[in-house]
Amino acid sequence: MPDLRDRLAAALAPRYLVERELGAGGMGVVFLGRDPTLGREVAIKVLPPERASAVAVERFLRETRLLAQLAHPNIVPIYDAQHTGELLWFVMPRIRGETLAQHIERGPLPVAEVVRIGTDLLRALEHAHAQGVIHRDIKPANVFVDGEHALLADFGIALLDDAHSDTLTGIGEVVGTMRYLSPEQRAGMEATDRSDLYALGVTLCEAATGRRWDQTDSTATATWHSLPRPLRRALQGALKPDPARRWRDAASFRRALTGGGQLTTRRVAIAAGIVAVAAVAAFGARTAMTPAPVPVARAHRALVVLPFGKSSDTAGADLARYTSHPMEFSVAGVLPFLDAGGMSIDSARLVADRVVTGEFISGAVGKRSLVITVYAADGSTLHEITVPGDPAEPVSWGFAAADSLVHRLYPTRLTEFRDLAGTPPNRDALDAFSDGQHLFQAGSWEAAEARFATAERIDPTFVQATWHKLIARQWQARPFKKELARLAVRIGPSRGVHSGLLAAQLEPDLDLRMARYDTLALTYQHDPMVRLLHANELFGRGPLIGRPLLEGVDAFRLAALEIPELDQPNSYTQTVWGAVRLGDEALAREQLRLRRAPDGDPWQDILWLAVNGRFRRWLAVPARKFMLFTADSAAVATLHRAVRIGLNVDNPHDQLAIATWLERHATSDRERGNAVAAQATAMLLLGQPLRAIQQLDRSSTLVHDDPGLRLQRWEWRVLLPLLPGAPINLPDSSRATGRDSLRQIPDTSAYWPRAVWSLTVDAIARDDLRAQDSLMALLRARSAQRWTADMVTFAESFAAGRRDQPDSALQLSRRIRRDLPDSEVGLRGPLVRALVYMHRGAWQVALNRPAAADSEWIWHENNDIPSRPDGEPHQGELDAALSAIARLLRAKGMPRLDRQTEACQLLNRVHTLWRDAEPSFTALKARVSDARVACPR
């Protein structure tokens, strides 16, 4: 269609250059394009005007909205979208890999490859289905295999499961590709998430056998015998003709495909007879064992720089390192020399588009020249570049070589490269910086910070040293924002990826911050720091803006696999942590196996206990007792640091047990008080609020110099009963004591506005208008401070909600999605965030927005906590402590979203957590039991 190409080129110029058609389908034509600003190839999908019926236009716009909504590593993302004149178009990355259909044409794939592709696609479907999106057209042609990953594409006919989802498909209309449709779709029935599982099952069968799957004979024994044995059970469960008998969701299918799953009742019963011996033996073996090295799948690279000269030439190795260093910060996909040093040319060609080697030749007196050869991946020579230099100035020589390479290979990035590279740093500074990189990669953040600080001290102009020093400080949960803001001023707006990362980190609005990170992650896909910080933001604060924890887990998981120069131990710590919290045993064990910790790392043992404490308590309980019995002073110190984040792996039982042990073995009142505070939050998650309040009172007595802790004991009495939908019932006398104590806080205290706010929302809930008005007036008088002004708007949002004005309530409470300095969080009150998010979900329900309510109520999946909570319980601890109530509220709304399976998983977990709940939870437990009637046993 040359006329369509010309029209598109005219409409998109100069933002995008349109080159040639790549393919066409029912929902549009795809052209190869180029983004000249960012120097990258893109795919541009356009809906031809002649196909633009009302339904087609709406489907095309739907695909655009869906792709923008479905940010996931295994879903083809969207860069840009517009309606220009008569043309509807959007821009996606150019996927260099082949489609799965092209792979299948060459014959069946190995079992391991089928499992890998299936796992990636099921993770994509887990994410899509959680957002209420059903693909409806899964087939090999819609799957791209890009290096080590599979990506799901073409959501053009996806079913968005909302109130308007029936406007595009008439009754009985079959939409999709017939040979991959489920039986219910072929019969004209509505597609569900299990329809997607069926289509994926057919797709994986074709991948495993290399031929079309015969759906008409799918029950025949011979048909199943044609499949490799390791795949049969998983695929049989996906291809049941009756949807009700298929895997209940994508996660179940994925666990079956990867061989995961729970122990059977019989196996547990047999194991119980020898549990104590087995547990101690297993834990002893775990502590004595160094994990075996696991091959790391590297992402495809733009460029690898190998050692120059002979293999024994130290100067050549140093010069190669000084050449690769400046390019790491401007050319996406350069493999740092510290990771490429042991490669041969042949092995480098397997992982990179370009391979650089070099030989030295003699020059003038005291001078030499480096002759650089650049090879393509097929082994052909692309360039030969001669760079003269002075052996006495290897850093300057290496920077000159890097400049020549960028000029020849990446001319559109030359300005950015020169701006970022700047003046070559001092050699000693660069060597100290490289030491810091090695230490950071090994998870030794404190030592890494010291080496980066040394580099900065030697050469104060070395921007990268300052930047990495602050990242290492951030990883230790130490203050870094003020110095980061000074660095942002120093760097200015023209430093490419550094400016973008600084702007993202300093952006207080969490939605805008995540949008910045998402853009950077798409633009600099192979930049280690971009991937690390993006994953960290998704994992830590993504749930605060409705991005589920699974996104953060997947971001860390994929980054750790693809980019070995990342902080590997920490990345796998996060994936294990997140998988345990999400209840995914197979993923948790896989990631724990992949975690290659340095010798003596105590976190390996803690993670082992976290995994087994969540999934195999019969094994973990005696192992935990053995660990505590044999703990030395170093282990006790680690437990003190870790005990208060146990709720963030959804394991209050072990947190309670370890905190009780630590209380007995504490050496100071502060240690004892922190252990008691850990008991209090664990009891709150276990449905024991009266015991929890008693423990918080004890903690306040022990840590007598913490005014926030003294205040929080009264806040619990007043605010916990105000949770929406599922209130915590406390005695009237306890609530009255809390109110009286909050009134005693003097107005000279920095915590006085926090006490007044608690009294205000309590008055609003009791419809005490006189008290509400007087207290609001007191708050407004102090609203000159930003955090106090926020407290005023939050109180006003509760008043609006009480007046049945949920739209106004949501608008007023919008500022809860902003980041605050740690000091202001304490002054605002750690319980405020949980209370506001819980009510925001209730206000969304009042507006008949169940999906939006669910997005608010997943806030509790965040990991926005310090590495070592100290003093009063922090907001991240309280978010986790109240998560059981949030899960009950979510489960109540999920049947409306056709997510009954997920609702049952949440209800079953709440049932387990509240097994020993206090009598005040009797009504809540009854609600859980009633809802579980619809769940399979």
Structure confidence by residue, pLDDT tens digits, 364-389: 555 688 899 999 878 889 899 999 88
CA angle 160, 163, 166 (to 5 degrees): 65
Residue 734 has pLDDT above 90, yes or no: yes
* pLDDT digit string, tens, across residues 637-686: 888 888 898 898 999 999 999 999 999 999 999 999 999 999 999 999 99
Q: Work out the average pLDDT over 98-116.
A: 87
* pLDDT digit string, tens, across residues 746-757: 999 999 999 999
Question: Average pLDDT, whole number, for the chain?
Answer: 82
Task: Tell me the Cα Rg of the chain.
Answer: 29
Q: Work out the average pLDDT over 32-58.
A: 72
Partnered with residue 133 across adjacent β-strands are: 160
What separation in angstroms does the CA of 663 have from each of 351, 397, 639, 676? 53, 60, 11, 7
Of the pLDDT bands very low, low, confident and very high (cuts 50, 70, 90), residue 50 is low
> Cβ(683)–Cβ(638) under 8 Å?
no
Q: What percent of the chain has pLDDT over 70?
A: 83
> Cβ(414)–Cβ(445) under 8 Å?
no
What integer pLDDT is reported at residue 914 of this predicted model? 96
Q: Examine residue 14 and say whether the peptide bond preceding it is cis (omega within 30 degrees of 0).
A: yes
What integer pLDDT is reported at residue 378 of this predicted model? 81
What separation in angstroms does the CA of 718 have from each of 346, 697, 728, 755, 777? 68, 14, 10, 10, 20
Strand 301-305 versus strand 334-335 pairing type? parallel
The helix or strand, by DSSP H or E, that contains position 80, with its residue range, turns out to be strand 80-84
Ranking 313-322, 761-770, 920-929 by mean pLDDT, the lowest is 313-322
Q: Which amino acid is at 483?
A: E
Residues 6+ apart with CB under 8 A from 385: 371, 372, 374, 401, 404, 405, 408
Among all residues, which ones are annotated catalytic? 137
